[in-house]
Structure 1
Amino acid sequence: MAGTFNNARGFHIDHCEIVTVLNPSADPLSKLQAQIAAGAIHDSRERCDAPKCHPKTRVAVQDDLYSWIVNGDGESECPRDIQWVTGPAGTGKTAVMGSLADRCAADGVLGATFFFASWSASIGRRRKTAFVTTIAHQLARYREDLQTAISTAVEKNTDVFEKNLHVQMENLVLSPLREVVRQSDGPGLRGAIIIDGLDECEAEQYHDTTGTGAQDKPVRTDAQDQLEILQVLQAASSDPSFPFRILIASRPERVFREFFDPENNPTPFAHKLDLNEDYNADADITLFLEAQFNLLRRRYHFPPSWPPPGTLQTLVKNASGQFIYAATVIRVLNAGRPERPKALLDAILKIGSKVNSNPLKQLDLLYSHILESSPDPLLSIRWIRAFAWANNASNASASNVTMLLQTDRESDEAEHLLGNLYSLIWIPPPGDQATSKYKVYHKSLFDFLSDPGRCGKLYLEISERNVFIWDSFIRACTSEFDSTSKLVSFLI
């Protein structure tokens, strides 16, 4: 089951997921491939538009991480094979990890990647289930002798896919690596395993098989599953046969702070790199803005004097190291709305005129400004919050979601509500709406909308969202729409 919606009136709707039935006669590597989260791999089709570092930006941090992957800690008395890359939402962690993965792949030193994403329709990118199998699948393609060893391991351990992550890591990764090290007389293995967005991993919930009722079973938390993955990776890195350096990128949530805290470990095993504290992002944000304003000038035939002197410095100051602020500003100016970029930029500069020590304040003001440009901000936010729920369904295309949420089939309600929000939401073009989904550009928007202290009057309780979705479902089921049966199949 991919997800359950519990509405405020006591009903529930389950999203169903198709379970792959393995062919007993399939070769071992085909069986392994059937268990992976393909969209989590760095160069997957699902990540074709994933953020990457703008050319000439984040060079220092990428060089430092790459040097550590290739050269390690040098002659350090206490070498560490794990690096935790952290920072608040919007500091560019995923862009750095994506660009670094591409660089490592080009140089032949990329072992495997896994990019978690809480917004993904693929349950494999949201949970731990396919984590080890996806890593093993990529390692099997890394070198021929390792492929043979992993294939043998799958063949010998026919029930390995039903085991916990520790057993899977031992059987599918560590044991094959030991075999390769034992038999190999060629060059030693080396490289990187890159894990991004581990803080977005959602808890795996298990069916109650005791007959006592789900209410008697403890509910796993996201932090528990995230900790399990961290422990599996730590155990792997401590194995003498494990040759890879591990990079883990996440926000500084409590489970990560405690796990990587040197005071909690008698023998420190990891480095910490804070993108917000260890690197001054201002110069990189300036480079990004300069390049984007050059494009805008050419597109709109603006004079070299635009933007006015001091504008870039103001925007960089307002960003407070948050790349997402600069990226959102540029998307506003590029949104293709009737307003000219000059007027839009003036409005952005006005809302950022207040000085505040909170580094997220300017981003919050920008999000508020954009959302309030909708003709009905609260209804637009109901739609946006519904996207997060609906996108857990595999067939939640933009057209299906629109069909569910709209109140008038004859009007273009989606364009009316979301037309001014193109800088926050990717809206598929009309010809692609039957196959593509609505997508929020950055998770920080949901962080903003989920905190009443940040979004103020734009805050929406989860119960209000649930009632909105449920009422939409009832309205659709009782309507005369020709496509009602299709809509019901999307929901149930």
Structure 2
Amino acid sequence: MANNILEGARDFQVDKLKINVTNVSSSSWGVGPLKELESRIAAGAIHDSAERCDAPKCHPETRVAVQDDLYGWIIDRDGDSEHPKKIKWVTGPAGTGKTAVMGSLSERCKAAGVLVATFFFASWSASIGRRRKTAFVATLAHQLSRYHPNLREEISKAVDANSDVFDKNLHVQMEVLVLGPLQEITGCPDGSDIRGAIIIDGLDECEAEQYHDTAIPGLGSNCPLPRSSDQDQLEILKVLQTAALHPSFPFRILIASRPEQVFREFFDPQNNPTPFSHKLDLHEDYKVDADITLFLEAQFNRIRRRYNLPLSWPPIEAIQTLVRNASGQFIYAATVIRYVAKSPKAHPDDQLQSILEMTPTTTSNPFEILDSLYSHILESSPDAALSVRWIRGIRSYIGSTESAYHVNLLLETKPGEAEYLLGSLHSLIRIPPRNAQATTKYDLYHKSLNDYLDDRDRCGRLYIQFDELIDFLWDRFNRACAIKI
């Protein structure tokens, strides 16, 4: 019940904003079609948005091979292939650097003038547009209108002639806002050599859009079941497939996601009689140990200079151990560096040694080493269980929309509790400085931490049941209300 109230309040605010925007027609205020289009986009999902200013990028000279391969595919268009494949699926487990690769590649394509459009989904984002499909096609069309003057004119005409297009399904939006305008300029001299890349990251993080009240057990089969995230992710995949197979569509599409079932089945050649895509696995297709070594060496050099440590620090054996432990996961290496560098109380070498001395047991869990690192860091909090409640509360309900200052007002039982609990967890959660907490939000560095905390088998005694989390949040909410009264 509490979860429904919290989610309902958030969705009510979003729906109210949508109603306000919808009720003010573009014609009544003299707003042009492209301004109407712009009002429908998810601006934070574009690769160079302000919301992504701290997004991960590839460390210089790392992931060079994969970026070169992807960039070459965009430019060369499969060479002289008679049946070019316009979609490439970039996949790999959590922490293999998919978002960093897509972000760096977007910048490279933009610098070369071949970037058409980007969309970076994020399940943690305060912007509902980055979490759901609603603004997906509109955001791509908006960027297309800036990419080419002829497309700009045709997209403007399409919006003007189809004022209700934003209330249509994604297939109709793609046809009206993208494919139709592309077809119109196919025969134009300026449009015959259009090429470039559309880059989509984190599609597995797209959550379901609900159009009706969801089913309630016991009310019978007439009450519709809620949509699943898989359904909306598959809808986007099919829309992109339709675009890629359209004769007037000239662009290459890159889709990055984890290897979840809906993606594995969709990109399985046996399920698609007409091959239209390539698969690239960052974990299996590229040996990343050299890149992780380069990253660790560069970051340890920076730490060594900051603390005036000897040139022999850290010993080469330590770096080799960390590379083995990373098992191809850049997130492990990045978390180690933050843990060593950002501790407010411990010397960097002490932090490093505590990681090297960890001895996880051998299990079938592919994230065993990463999970051990997360457990080790969380246990460094003076109250690990309470810290996890804070992190889960921040991540699930309040921190994605509220500033750190307001989160502290709600959750603290005494001044300074936030720093007491989270002060040793700077390697896991981005904590704004005190002078910026009124305008800046808490933020997890990587979604894999949330996956870890959601899985009882992975986080063990740190696991917090859903009912416990709701009770904790309601207790703090009631307390804050009582104090305010």
| TM-score (norm: length of structure 2) | 0.93
Amino acid at match of 1:7: A
Q: How many residues align?
A: 472
- Map 1:44-443 to 2 at 5 A: 44-185=49-190, 187-208=192-213, 216-352=223-359, 358-391=365-398, 394=401, 396-408=402-414, 411-443=415-447
SS at match of 2:255: strand
Deviates more, 1:57-66 or 1:344-353: 344-353
- Residue 159 of structure 1, CA deviation: 0.5
Matched, 1:477 2:477: no
8 A contact 1:112–1:138 mirrored in 2: yes
The equivalent position to 2:34 in structure 1, one of 21, 29, 35, is: 29
Q: 1:258 to 1:385 in 2, by over 3 A?
A: same
Cα pair distance change 1:174/1:13, threshold 3 Å: closer
Provide the C-alpha distance between the structure 2 equivalents of 1:113 and 1:441, rounded to a whole number of angstroms: 21
TM-fit CA distance, 1:268: 1.6
Aligned AA for 1:244?
Answer: F
Residue 272 of structure 1: SS of its match in structure 2? strand
Name the stretch that deviates more: 214-223 or 80-89. 214-223
- Which residue identity is paired with 1:141? R
CA separation of 1:289 and 1:215: change in aligned 2, threshold 3 A: farther
Partner amino acid for 1:313? Q
Contact preservation (8 Å) 1:318, 1:352? no
In 1, the alpha carbon distance for the partners of 2:250 and 2:447 equals 33
* CA shift for structure 1 position 336: 3.9
Q: Deviations over 1:341-363 (max 9, x none)?
A: 00000000001575666441110
Distance 1:376 1:393 in 2: 23
- Give the corresponding residue for 2:452: 448
- Distance in 1 (CA, whole Å) between partners of 2:257 and 2:7 is 32
Give the partner amino acid of 1:118: S
User: Structure 2 vs 1, CA of residues 273 and 391 (structure 1 numbering), >3 Å: closer, same or farther?
Assistant: farther
The residue matched to 1:310 in structure 2 has which SS?
helix
CA distance in structure 2 between the partners assigned to 1:324 and 1:171 by the alignment: 40
Q: Which residue of 2 aligns with 1:3?
A: none
CA distance in 1 between counterparts of 2:482 and 2:105 reads: 51
Root-mean-square deviation (Å): 2.1
Residues 270/10 of structure 1: CA separation in 2 closer, same or farther (3 Å cut): closer
CA distance in 2: counterparts of 1:81 and 1:335, whole angstroms: 43
Of residues 93-102 and 299-308 in structure 1, the stretch that sits farther from structure 2 once superposed is 299-308
Q: SS at 1:339's partner residue? A: coil
- Over 3 Å counting, the alpha-carbon distance change for 1:304 and 1:352 in structure 2 is farther
Q: 1:86–1:252: 8 Å Cα contact kept in structure 2? A: yes
Q: Residues 459-478 of structure 1 correspond to what in structure 2 (within 5 A)? A: 459-478=463-482
What is the deviation of 1:174?
Answer: 0.3
What is the percentage of aligned positions where both structures have the same residue? Answer: 63
Q: How far apart are residue 214 of structure 1 and its match?
A: 12
Pick closer, same or farther for the CA change 1:263–1:322 going to 2, 3 Å.
same
More displaced 10-residue stretch of structure 1: 223-232 or 17-26: 17-26
**SS in structure 1 opposite 2:144?**
helix
Distance 1:46 1:470, change over 3 A: same
Structure 2 counterpart of 1:374, one-letter code: S
Distance 1:230 1:289 in 2: 36
TM-fit CA distance, 1:74: 1.7
Distance in 2 (CA, whole Å) between partners of 1:8 and 1:81 is: 42
Q: Which amino acid aligns with 1:430?
A: R
Write the deviation string for residues 207-250 of structure 1: whole angstroms up to 9, x where unpaired. 359xx999812200000000000000000000000000000000
Structure 2 CA distance, aligned partners of 1:393 and 1:10?
Answer: 16
Helix, strand or coil for the counterpart of 1:193? strand
Amino acid at match of 2:111: A
Distance 2:315 2:167 in 1: 61
* Residue aligned with 1:288, SS: helix
> Which runs of no fewer than 5 residues in structure 2 stay unpaired?
none
Task: Check whether the contact 1:58–1:96 (CA below 8 A) recurs between aligned residues.
Answer: yes
Q: Is the 8 A contact 2:117 2:143 kept in 1?
A: yes
Distance 1:11-1:389 versus aligned 2 partners, 3 A rule? closer
Task: Report the AA paired with residue 373 of structure 2.
Answer: L
- Check 1:48–1:380 CA distance in 2 against 1; reply closer, same or farther (3 A cut): same
Shift in Å at residue 452 of structure 1? 1.0
Q: Is the 8 A contact 1:7 1:463 kept in 2?
A: no
Indicate conservation of the 8 Å contact 1:297/1:306, yes or no: yes
Instruction: Verify the 8 A CA contact 1:90 1:444 in the aligned structure 2.
Output: yes
* Equivalent-residue separation in structure 2 for 1:387 and 1:11 (angstroms): 13
How big is each residue's C-alpha offset from its partner over 1:423-449, in whole Å with a ceiling of 9 and x where there is no partner? 001111111111111101000000111
Distance 1:148 1:13, change over 3 A: closer
Q: CA deviation at 1:75?
A: 2.9
Query: What secondary structure sits across from 1:182 in the alignment?
Result: coil
Matched letter for residue 404 of structure 1: L
SS for the counterpart of 2:9 is strand
Amino acid at match of 2:9: D
Question: What is the distance in 2 between the residues matched to 1:13 and 1:244?
Answer: 39
Structure 2 counterpart SS, 1:478: helix
1:457 counterpart = 2:464:
no
Q: TM-score, normalised by structure 1?
A: 0.92
What is the CA-CA distance between 1:392 and the residue it aligns to? Answer: 7.0
Cα pair distance change 1:244/1:8, threshold 3 Å: closer
The structure that is helix-richer by fraction is 2
User: 1:14 maps to which residue?
Assistant: 9
> What is the distance in 1 between the residues matched to 2:303 and 2:66?
28
Shift of 1:184: 3.3
> Partners of 1:87 and 1:170 in 2: how far apart?
31
- Distance of 2:331 and 2:206 partners within structure 1: 21
Determine the C-alpha separation between the residues in 2 that align with 1:12 and 1:353: 38
Amino acid at match of 1:308: P
C-alpha contact 1:82 1:247 (8 A) present in aligned 2: yes
Distance 1:74 1:184, change over 3 A: same
